[in-house]
A and B are shown apart, each in its own frame.
Chain A
Amino acid sequence: MSKQYLTAHTVDQAHTADIFSLAPTPTVLFSASGSSSIHIHSTSDPTFPLQQTLTNAHKLGCHHVCAARGGVGDVVASVGFGGEIKVWRRHEDGKQWKLWWEITPTKSSGGDVWAVALTADEGYLACTTSDGCIHVWDLVARERITTYETGGSSGRGGGSFAMAVDISRDGKLTASGHQSGAVYVFNNDAGRLVYSLSGLSKPVRAVAFSPGGKRLAAAGNAGVIALYDMEHGEHVGNLTSPNSRPAWLTSLDWNDTGAYLLSGSLDGRVKVWDAERGICVATHSETDSAIWCVRWLPMSDRVLAPGMAKGEMFCAAGASRSISFYREATGT
């Protein structure tokens, strides 16, 4: 059984450089690229118009931007190539976004900051570093509360580059994916490592907890999506493409029900997977330039066009510099 998704809209040339990251909130979509500004697109309008531009957000360009999955959408964090983290907050008027706080490279110490994730309550931020650490910051107190190290017992740093991070929606678990192929899961309450997951031996570029927190998906250069059970830390299966040599996967995202998983890869393909049955239900390959990021838009009551039913949407962006929005074809 395949599902059908149609291109709802494409924002052409949304940025002047590769779009590296997307972050949807219930009302807007942040897009970040190799250029210095971050764009905020309204997602409650069928043409996804530009609502605000955060100019000069990251001088050298921005590689990660994230919103809280399942959050109200008041906080967004971004990381620049210069190693600085910026935390943005929605103004009381509900529309304007402003810089709330900046964590400069020296403050975060150790290796360069890379990937970033926010807790659902938008109170904590986890960021990875190039020397394999995961720092957790309390956004309200503005202080670093924990650092998980993966470099063995030797102490500071020395771990494999942590390329991806995610926090479960209940805030209990943090997962990191590494250059070495390692995937680690930490218990935030106990402040310690709970699972060291095997299964992928090549660099892991994306990790994502399912909305219920029961599953963790991880993917990267191996070209397969590994699924892990979070109750016992077991590898429960792989989602694989029939291709003889699958392209490197760059991005993963679960939909709000946890039934479907979205993936993007360097060969320009965007795929929707049925996680339970372990099969690919839709493939899009409108471009052969790299996809850097794929994201579901949070479920909402939006009706994007007359006669169009409410439905789930996702978006994808990358080296084409455009953002494509897809909606489910409902048939009715």
Chain B
Amino acid sequence: MPPSVPRRRSRRLVRDAGKFPHPNAPSVDQGPQSGIVTIPSKNSNDVALLRIEDLMETILDAIMEGNELFIPYRSVRSAQAEGDSQKTSFVRFPGRNIQEVKKFEALFRILELSHEALLSGNIITKRNIYYQNIELFKSQSTVDDMIDNLAFTLGVGRGDLNIAATAKGLIAGLVDLIMKGGSIIKCDHSHDGGTLLPSIDSIDKVDFRDAKWLLVIEKEATFRTLAESQYANNSKAGHGIIVTAKGFPDLATRRFLSILHSVRPTLTVFALVDFDPHGIAILRTYKTGSQRFEHEENVTVPDLKWLGIRSRDILSCGSGISSQDSQSSDFQHLGSQRSQDISSQESLTFSYDGSQEERHNKRRRVRKTRDPSETVASLTQADRKKAVSIMKEICAAEGLGGGVAAEMEQKSELQRMMMLNIKAEIQAVDNYGDITDWLNERLCNQQQWNISF
């Protein structure tokens, strides 16, 4: 059965409908005291709408003229594999086989749903699209892939199609989300560990109150523990916000963070990830984006700061890579200064060590001392392969004139991971399940460092 073609709407009509008021820049509501910031609406919806309507017109014309129908379709993966050749393939109707017919029908249905969502200003979830016609789409992942590829083909972001993933991220802290519908989501008194992150496009304003920092946590379990203990309200580093995407970040969470950071640049964003190649991949995805979603905009937080955990956090109990807190370059410098012309026999060494202990006492007192052997695991072959592939990525960026300090630090930590052949989870730095001491110390230090810099 041929897909039904929606009635053609005149473009003028769409314009006049006035569904898209676009306040361009983020506007702070009266004075620096106020924490309420407006989330800018997207402009690119227009582009997406135009492109979808163009496509539909082409199809309509083809029907009128009795020609073959086709939808241009490029796969993100194959485009990357072939090294960005501009070749676009087409899904035709009637196709060469039954699969192509089904594919055409599915793609057309997605376009139609996106078109409707764009006109009404509503957001439709990927899950919802799947349930529109389970038999046609077969599986959720088919829908997900098709949506991403369609967005890629049309040259827009997935959000621009007014299609969102079902929320995966969680948020907690002294922050209110004022929705476009007028309802307010308060994230501070969420009963059991966090509020489901709504799509950023459905948020009108955000009341940051006096939040100073935002912490993205890889692990949901750590997030929940912190949310339950109201850490974001009780932190020694001041009020803050905590977020998790439950592992590898989804696009919705990344867009949420990216836009939040762009409307509120004073909010320092930190990441807390495992000390393993996967954790560093997650950190890099938040910070610089992922290959698969290179065509998406506003999905990165380039200023993201790596709170931990690093090799020195795990090995700091008397056998640190370094016990210095600040950037690696600082501790290197200190190390070399101290090594000049100081030589000691064992007897001398002890007194020297004594003074060293004193210097670090403040830090160590709050920390449970643990043998690093108890908190680390060996890297697997897959871990080591992953580490090498991330290092290759970093080196490639270096070659392109990148090579920023943050990336060099990631490379350094990956190398130490491989040298030691160890990995550790966030839990390695907690105190029998309580990570608040470590967090307080780290967040306070990091903020001081930011100010002094």
Task: Enumerate chain A interface residues (CB-CB to B < 8 A).
Answer: 2, 4-7, 10, 12-13, 16-18, 20, 34, 36, 59-61, 63, 81-83, 111-112, 130-131, 161, 163, 179, 202-203, 221, 243, 245, 247-248, 265-268, 280, 282-290, 292, 319-322, 324, 326
B391 engages A282 (CB within 8 Å): no
**Nearest CB in chain B: distance from A270 CB, A:** 11
Interface residues of B in 376-419 (CB under 8 A from A): 378, 381, 384, 388, 391-392, 395, 408, 411-412, 415-416, 418-419
* Surface stretch bound by A, among B14-22, B243-251, B344-352: B344-352
Contacts of B319 in A (CB 8 A): 247-248, 265-267, 290
B335 engages A130 (CB within 8 Å): no
Contacting B373 at CB < 8 Å: which of A111, A221, A287?
A221
* Surface stretch bound by A, among B52-60, B118-126, B228-236, B320-328: B320-328
B335 engages A245 (CB within 8 Å): no
List 20 A–B pairs whose Cβ atoms lie within 8 Å, in order of A's numbering.
A6-B343, A10-B340, A13-B336, A18-B412, A18-B419, A60-B388, A61-B391, A61-B415, A82-B391, A82-B392, A203-B421, A245-B371, A247-B319, A283-B345, A285-B353, A287-B339, A290-B320, A319-B321, A319-B335, A324-B339
B345 engages A288 (CB within 8 Å): no
Contacts of A13 in B (CB 8 A): 332, 336
| B320: nearest chain-A partner, CB-CB | A288
A322 engages B335 (CB within 8 Å): yes
Encoded as 1 (CB less than 8 Å from any A CB) or 0, chain B from 302 to 340 comes to: 000000000000010111111110000001100110111
Encoded as 1 (CB less than 8 Å from any A CB) or 0, chain B from 352 to 388 comes to: 1100100000000000000111000010010010001
**Nearest CB in chain B: distance from A140 CB, A:** 30
Known: A17-B412, A130-B381, A289-B335. A280 touches B391 (CB 8 A): no
CB of B13 closer than 8 Å to a CB of A: no
| B409: nearest chain-A partner, CB-CB | A17
Most buried by B among A7, A10, A161, A319: A319
B343 engages A326 (CB within 8 Å): yes
B388 engages A83 (CB within 8 Å): yes
B318 engages A7 (CB within 8 Å): no
A267 engages B320 (CB within 8 Å): yes
**Nearest CB in chain A: distance from B330 CB, A:** 11
B335 engages A60 (CB within 8 Å): no
CB of B64 closer than 8 Å to a CB of A: no
Contacts of B321 in A (CB 8 A): 266, 289-290, 319
CB of B25 closer than 8 Å to a CB of A: no
Contacting A2 at CB < 8 Å: which of B338, B341, B345, B418?
B345
A282–B349 Cα distance when bound, in Å, is 9
| A60: nearest chain-B partner, CB-CB | B391
Most buried by B among A6, A59, A283, A324: A283
Known: A286-B339, A292-B419. 16 other contacts (CB 8 A): A2-B345, A4-B345, A5-B343, A18-B416, A34-B412, A81-B415, A83-B388, A161-B421, A163-B421, A203-B421, A266-B319, A284-B343, A285-B352, A289-B321, A320-B335, A320-B339
| A320: nearest chain-B partner, CB-CB | B335
B419 engages A63 (CB within 8 Å): yes
| B373: nearest chain-A partner, CB-CB | A221
Contacts of A289 in B (CB 8 A): 320-322, 324, 331-332, 335
A322–B340 Cα distance when bound, in Å, is 10
Count of CB-CB pairs between chains A and B under 8 Å = 147
| B323: nearest chain-A partner, CB-CB | A288
CB of B342 closer than 8 Å to a CB of A: yes
B378 engages A161 (CB within 8 Å): yes
B418 engages A63 (CB within 8 Å): yes
A107–B317 Cα distance when bound, in Å, is 41
**Nearest CB in chain A: distance from B453 CB, A:** 21
A321–B412 Cα distance when bound, in Å, is 12
A283 engages B344 (CB within 8 Å): yes
Contacts of A112 in B (CB 8 A): 381, 384, 388
**Nearest CB in chain A: distance from B86 CB, A:** 30
A319–B340 Cα distance when bound, in Å, is 16
| B416: nearest chain-A partner, CB-CB | A18
A20 engages B419 (CB within 8 Å): yes
**Nearest CB in chain B: distance from A314 CB, A:** 12
Contacts of A17 in B (CB 8 A): 408, 411-412, 415
Contacts of A36 in B (CB 8 A): 395
Contacts of B419 in A (CB 8 A): 18, 20, 63, 292
A59 engages B323 (CB within 8 Å): no
| A242: nearest chain-B partner, CB-CB | B346
Contacts of B322 in A (CB 8 A): 288-290, 319
A126–B346 Cα distance when bound, in Å, is 36
| A289: nearest chain-B partner, CB-CB | B322
Known: A34-B411, A83-B388, A161-B378. A322 touches B339 (CB 8 A): yes
A174–B236 Cα distance when bound, in Å, is 56
A247–B335 Cα distance when bound, in Å, is 18
Contacting A283 at CB < 8 Å: which of B349, B373, B412?
B349
Closest 4 CB pairs of A and B: A247-B319, A320-B335, A286-B339, A267-B319
B349 engages A63 (CB within 8 Å): no
A10 engages B381 (CB within 8 Å): no
Encoded as 1 (CB less than 8 Å from any A CB) or 0, chain B from 9 to 53 comes to: 000000000000000000000000000000000000000000000
**Nearest CB in chain B: distance from A83 CB, A:** 7
A202–B442 Cα distance when bound, in Å, is 31
Contacts of B346 in A (CB 8 A): 2, 280, 282-283
Interface residues of B in 124-153 (CB under 8 A from A): none
A7 engages B372 (CB within 8 Å): no
A177–B252 Cα distance when bound, in Å, is 47
**Nearest CB in chain A: distance from B166 CB, A:** 38
A245–B381 Cα distance when bound, in Å, is 30
**Nearest CB in chain B: distance from A2 CB, A:** 5
Known: A83-B388, A285-B352, A320-B335. A111 touches B381 (CB 8 A): yes
**Nearest CB in chain A: distance from B46 CB, A:** 45
